[in-house]
Every structure is written in C-alpha cells, then in structure tokens.
Amino acid sequence: MKKTYRRVAPALLVSLGGLLASHAQAESGIQELWDRTTFLGQIRLDAAYKTNDEQNPYNQNAFPFQDVAVERQAYLPPDLGGGSWGAVPLMADPLGLIPTNDTIRRDDRVYFEDYETNQLNLRFSGEMDMRFNREWRMNVKMRAIFDPVVHEGFNAGMFSNDQGGIASGGGDRYADTGETNFYEAKSRTGENLNPFEVAGRDYMVDFPTFILNYKSGKYDLRFGLQQIAWGQAVFFRTFDVANSLDLRRHLILDRGIEEFEDERVPKLALRGTVQATRNVIFDAYIGKFQPDILPNPNTPYNVVPSQFYKPLDNYHSGGYDNKLDAGFRLKGDYGNWSWQAMAVSRYNPLGVFSWAESGIEKGLSPWGGSVGAAVEAAYLSKPQCQGEQNPYDNFCRLYGSVGEALGHTPFTVGPGGVYSDKEWFSTAASVRLHGVDVLNRAIADFPALRDVFASPVNNVEEASALLNTFFIGAGGSIRGNVERDYYREDVFGLGLGYVTSTEDVNSFWDQIILNLEVQYAPERRFTSPDLSQDGIETDEVIVTLVAEKWYRWTESFPAAYLVGQFMHRSESDLVGLHLSGYGGNVGNTDPKLPEGIDSANYLVFAGFQPWPNRKFIAEWAFLYDVEGGLLAQPLIKWNPGRGMSVDLYYNYVTGDLHGDGTSTLTRAIDHVEEVGMRFTYQL
C-alpha cells in the first residue's frame, strides 16, 4: 500500500499543479480579455410636441370628412335590374330602422382623444466591444425603448356594440382589435417581422449590431447583425440598398444629418471587404432578407389609412423569411477622382400591397336594417352555382350566406371603416390609389363581390352609388383588407466622384467633394394604384448628385459642413410609391382622380456649424420637392459637458408650398408641425 502511494502521489501532485496552472492561465486569459473589452452606455429621451391643430389624417380621429355631414343614398344593384349604378334609388325603409338615404357624420360614430405629443420615449443604448486578439473582435449594440403612452389613442374595444365590433380573423390582427399598438410588428402568422427583437405595445428591445469581426491585412470579414451603408446622401438612398427601414419610432423626421442610422433594420449577413489593389476596394455581402417595418394604425406617425385593417404581411406565410439578398461593390480612388460600381440581387423591402381576402365571415344583418336584410334575402333567393356557373354570367350564388361570401372578399362589415363615397375617394388619393380603378379591381379579382351584387362601374358617380349602397347596407362603414408580398429585383449602380482643386486654397470652390450616383433596376415591382395582385412592373432609373464641402467662414469659428443634393427618379417617389398614383384630391373636396406625374425630383440642402467652444452646433436640413413640397428642420445642439447633450429642433412640413399639393411627396405628412427635443446622457 505504501509503495502504491509513493508511486501515485507524485503523479497526483503533478496533475494538481497542472490544473492549478491551467486555472491560473484561464483566469489570466479572462482578465486580459476583460481588459481588452470596452463598454459604452447612453440614456436618451426623445420628445416631439405638436405646434398646430392638425391631426394625422390616416388615423381614426382625423380622416377626411370626419366632421362633415355627407348625404348617402342606396340604389338598386344592376344585377337585380337596376340598370347602371345610381339609376334606381331604393324606397325608404318602411320600418324606420335604417333608411335607404341618410346623412352621416363620421365623428358621430368614431371619436378618440387627439394627440398633442407626437413622440415621447425613453431609450437605453449599450455597446460592448471585445477584442480577442489583433485579428478577432466582437461588437454588440443593444437598444431598449419604452413609451409611457401619454395618449391612449384608439381602442377598438369601445366599438364592440357598433356593427358587431371590429372582427378578427384571416390572420393575426394584433394592431386592429385592441388598444393602439406602438411597437409590435408581426406578419399574418403572428411571428415578428424582425426575429431579433422583443416588442410589446409600449416597448421594444433589439440589437442594431451583433457582429463577429475578423480583420487581418487587406481582409475584413464581419458576420452577424449589421448595417451596410454604401450610400453617402442625406434623405436619399441610391447606393444604400442593403438594409430595409424601420419607420415605427419617428418616421423620417429624426435628425436629417444622421441619414438613416436609426432607421435601418439590422441585417443578418456575412460581409467581406478586400483591398483588391492599391486603389480598389472590393466589398460584398450575403444576408437574410428583412422587409421595411411601417408604423401601426392610429400611432402618431402612421401613414396607412386605419379604416383598413393593417396590411396582412406575407413575410412568413409566403416563405420570404428564408430568402437571401446578396451584392457587391467595387470602389476605386485615383487622386482627385474616384469611381464605384455595384450589383445587388434582393427582394424589394417595401413590397407590393394588393387586395386580400379578409377571412372574416360577417354578414350585413342585423346592422344594415332593411337594406342589409333585403340584400341577404336577395342573395339567398339565388340558386347555388353548379359546375362552371359563376355569378358574373348566371343568376346564382357561390356560398351559403352573404357573410360567408364577404369572407372571400377584401371587405368586412365593421365600425371605424369608410363611411361614405367622399371619404373613400379622398382616402384613396391620400395613399396614391385610384378611387374607381381600385374598386373595379376588387370586383374583378374576387368573384364573391359580384356574388353579393357588386358590379363594375364606369365613373365616379357610379362608384359613389355602389359604395354608399353597401355602406348603408352594412349599417355604417366597411373596412378594407390588404396584404403585402415581396418580389426579387436586380439593382445596378455606377458612381463617379471628383474633388475640386483651385490655386487659392481659401476659395469656396476648392476641395468640394462631388459624387454622381446612378441606380438602374430593371423590371422593378411597385404597388399599383388599383391594388392589383402583381402590381406594376417597369424599369426605373434614379440619379443623385451630391456636393459636400467643409468651409471656414471666419477664423473665429470652426469649419462648417455643407451638403447640397439633387435626385431624379423616373418611376417612384422617395418612399417607393409609383408616380401613376399622384394627382388625386385629398381632404374635404370633390373627387379628383389621379392622373400621375412623369418623374419625381428633389433638392436637399443640409449641414452644421459648430460654435468656437463647440458647446453649440447649429444644424439644418431642408428637403424640397420641385412640385411644391418642403420638409424643413432647423436644429440647435447644446453640449453642456459631463456627458450630456441637448438637441432642440423644429419639423415643418408642407405639401403645397406652391401648386395644389396633389403631386408632392410631402403632402403625405404635411400635418406635421412639431418642436422636438432630444436629451442624451453618456454613461
């Protein structure tokens, strides 16, 4: 036993010593890694207060004709012998329940508190940068936002006794059937559009960056969540096509000089940059497709009419969540000259919006009185269609009831929808839709609409007769249902840069950085003004010219940064809507159908000027639509020290600086006049 012990003991001591040494090395390694890790933190308060009385015209409290009395009349449908729509008025309701003609004021049925504060949220941002060695590092940025909800906004629950309430079905209706939801963004399956975030009604947490980075010599590889910013323009995105945009927090009304830093959706991607030659850089990526995220209904910066259900997003159900984007860019610098070229294969993140089946089986009775009852009785009087029969060519029905038929159409009976023909045309124009074509498209694409006696119309008057008949028959309003799909496109770009040089180094014209960027996208898909399933397919050319300059006006002030820009777009506006939908009337006016415009052209002047002690910085950003729109944002930044900074700015938007405003981009948000404040504290 003693001999065994003498043999084993030294071995145990050696092993124990090795373990202690390994543990000491591990602790030393962890300590070294910790010493090479940096942490940054920031607390930020964002607030924006309205300075005018206008409310968001896409929300329930401020739709066109909200407080205007509108006359409605029901007519005998052509399919029941009424000739053309509007030819034969229906007789008055003998029971006095809901007459066949009436006067409707929208705000007698729908009302909620007006917004005074457009934005108020508290944000924490944290960053960790961990360097494993000279080649490897990990960078993580986390963002957490909380909204105290100073205005409760629209609550669908308050309408449970009106037209049977706002029904659910056909997909996840998270943003429509309860309280106003400020941050959640889900597809029709109930899954997050951004899988790397956690969000609720009044909060969200996500990771703008989460990358593992390898850099050695001429190679730079990054894998994880990241922003790939190839463009150089303020407001404009010509080469900046890799990431989609998240517009939930403040639309495009944040500090203009920041470009899209806070709006880009992080992309899960592998990106590699190589110094291919002494003068040329090769940059490429492959990543997961992520769609644009739009504000929810009835939120302060919503841009989709809330009379419609929030568009059902087919990101997961259509298999787009498994799609990949890829692209590369070459950039060369030769003295005062530079050039760049890119090619990207991607799914357009804005997508194409089109009519969708509601999936909600809800009939006209009992809310529609005698008109609704008459429509349902007439429907049941039709025999069931047999074989190849259809309601277009035969007096037969496809389904067992009007409710079942409406479940196969884009329209749902319910409060808070469209209440009159005038509201229909004005709302359609506000989102670049053609009020007559969009109605005919729904009838043509969904046989169940013809089944319940809707038939094509030839003009505004006939469309008004059809619409008001169904609004009265529904007992108030009808809500629309839209879906979003995505289409792959190829995007090509060429750029040329030049830095001016003069003999006088103090001349304003010396060292101006000029960049010309051209984008070409063949067969790009856009949402059609009639909401057709496949949208509009056409080639698009985008041309952007950027001039940048650092200039010192006087020796007593630091140099100011100045940038001027021009963009020409052949097919779409700055947010990607096709120009054929421009030109329609918006507001409490008679219908004027859109006729479209040939091109969109924008000018930008932006910059900043620091004070001598840099405690103050004056900033400005102006976006001018040559058709007569303006977004102006003057800003003053105060740096009192001790990690604190305060930004005070004003957003002024108008869509009719000159002209009637029907052809400007900014018309969509010209209700915005707000004073904003951002307080930041670096931890």
Number of C-beta neighbours around residue 561 at 10 A: 17
Give the pLDDT of residue 9. 47
Give the pLDDT of residue 95. 54
Nearest CA to 510 out of 501, 520, 518 is that of: 501
CA pair distance 358, 279, nearest whole angstrom: 56
Give the pLDDT of residue 588. 87
Give the pLDDT of residue 527. 98
How many angstroms separate the Cα of 99 from the Cα of each of 103, 163, 165, 416, 478?
10, 16, 21, 20, 17
∠ CA 417-421-426, rounded to 5°:
80
Verdict on whether the full-model pTM lies above 0.85: yes
Q: What is the mean pLDDT of residues 364-372?
A: 90
For residue 115, give the DSSP letter. P
551 CB-near residues (< 8 Å, 6+ apart): 508, 559, 560, 562
Q: What is the mean pLDDT of residues 415-433?
A: 96
Give the pLDDT of residue 392. 86
Strand pairing report for 482-485 and 312-313: parallel
Report whether 417 contacts 104 (CB < 8 A).
no
CA pair distance 592, 588, nearest whole angstrom: 11
Q: What is the mean pLDDT of residues 551-569?
A: 95
Q: What is the mean pLDDT of residues 514-527?
A: 97
Say how many CA atoms lie within 13 Å of 139 toward its Cβ.
Answer: 12
- Domain coordinates of the chain in residue numbers? 2-35, 43-56+115-356+484-682, 70-104+357-480
Nearest CA to 293 out of 348, 350, 254 is that of: 350
CA pair distance 220, 216, nearest whole angstrom: 7
Give the pLDDT of residue 590. 86
For domain 43-56+115-356+484-682, give the fold. Answer: Porin (2.40.160)
Nearest CA to 409 out of 326, 334, 461, 470 is that of: 470
Average confidence score pLDDT of the chain: 92
Give the pLDDT of residue 674. 97
Give the pLDDT of residue 99. 64
Report whether 354 contacts 482 (CB < 8 A).
yes
Give the pLDDT of residue 233. 74
The alpha carbon torsion through 360, 366, 371, 377 (nearest 10 deg) reads 80
Amino acid at 456: P
How many angstroms separate the Cα of 410 from the Cα of each of 114, 219, 469?
29, 52, 17
Report pLDDT digits (tens) over 627-677: 999 999 999 999 999 999 999 999 999 999 998 889 999 999 999 999 999
CA pair distance 160, 166, nearest whole angstrom: 7
∠ CA 299-478-422, rounded to 5°:
85
537: exposed, middle or buried (C-beta count within 10 Å: 0-12, 13-18, 19+)? Answer: middle
Provide DSSP, 18-37: HHHHHHHHHHHHHHHHHHTE
**Helix H or strand E encompassing 429:** helix 421-430
Q: What is the mean pLDDT of residues 397-424?
A: 97
Give the pLDDT of residue 32. 84
Report pLDDT digits (tens) over 325-347: 999 999 999 999 999 999 999 99
Number of C-beta neighbours around residue 29 at 10 A: 11
CA pair distance 626, 618, nearest whole angstrom: 26
Amino acid at 514: L
SS3 401: coil
The alpha carbon torsion through 58, 60, 65, 66 (nearest 10 deg) reads -150
SS3 314: coil
Report pLDDT digits (tens) over 33-59: 888 899 999 999 999 999 999 999 999
CA pair distance 186, 195, nearest whole angstrom: 10
CA pair distance 332, 260, nearest whole angstrom: 25
CA pair distance 530, 543, nearest whole angstrom: 28
Q: Which tokens in the block code for residue 495?
A: 């750029």
Q: At what angle do helices 369-381 and 460-474 cross, to 10 degrees?
A: 100
Give the pLDDT of residue 234. 80
SS3 440: helix
Q: How far is CA 59 from the centre of its chain?
A: 15
Nearest CA to 106 out of 364, 416, 371, 412 is that of: 416
Report pLDDT digits (tens) over 440-491: 999 999 999 999 999 999 999 999 999 999 999 999 999 999 999 999 999 9
CA pair distance 139, 383, nearest whole angstrom: 68
211 CB-near residues (< 8 Å, 6+ apart): 138, 139, 140, 222, 223, 224, 225, 226
Q: Which tokens in the block code for residue 500?
A: 């001016």
Give the pLDDT of residue 3. 47
Report pLDDT digits (tens) over 80-130: 988 999 999 987 555 555 568 899 999 999 887 788 999 999 999 999 999
Give the pLDDT of residue 8. 44
540 CB-near residues (< 8 Å, 6+ apart): 519, 520, 521, 524, 569, 570, 571, 572
Nearest CA to 351 out of 576, 134, 101 is that of: 576
How many angstroms separate the Cα of 495 from the Cα of each of 340, 544, 604, 651?
5, 9, 19, 32
Report pLDDT digits (tens) over 372-387: 999 999 999 999 999 9
Phi first, then psi, for residue 49 (nearest 5°) are -115, 135
Q: Which tokens in the block code for residue 260?
A: 């899209």
Determine what percent of the chain is predicted with pLDDT higher than 70: 95
Q: Which residues pair with 339 in a beta bridge?
A: 332, 496
∠ CA 263-266-267, rounded to 5°:
135
The alpha carbon torsion through 224, 229, 234, 235 (nearest 10 deg) reads -60
350 band by pLDDT with thresholds 50, 70 and 90 = very high
Q: Is the dihedral of CA 39, 251, 581, 418 positive or negative?
A: positive
∠ CA 139-350-532, rounded to 5°:
160
Nearest CA to 287 out of 321, 312, 256 is that of: 321
600 band by pLDDT with thresholds 50, 70 and 90 = very high
301: exposed, middle or buried (C-beta count within 10 Å: 0-12, 13-18, 19+)? Answer: buried
Phi first, then psi, for residue 6 (nearest 5°) are -65, -30
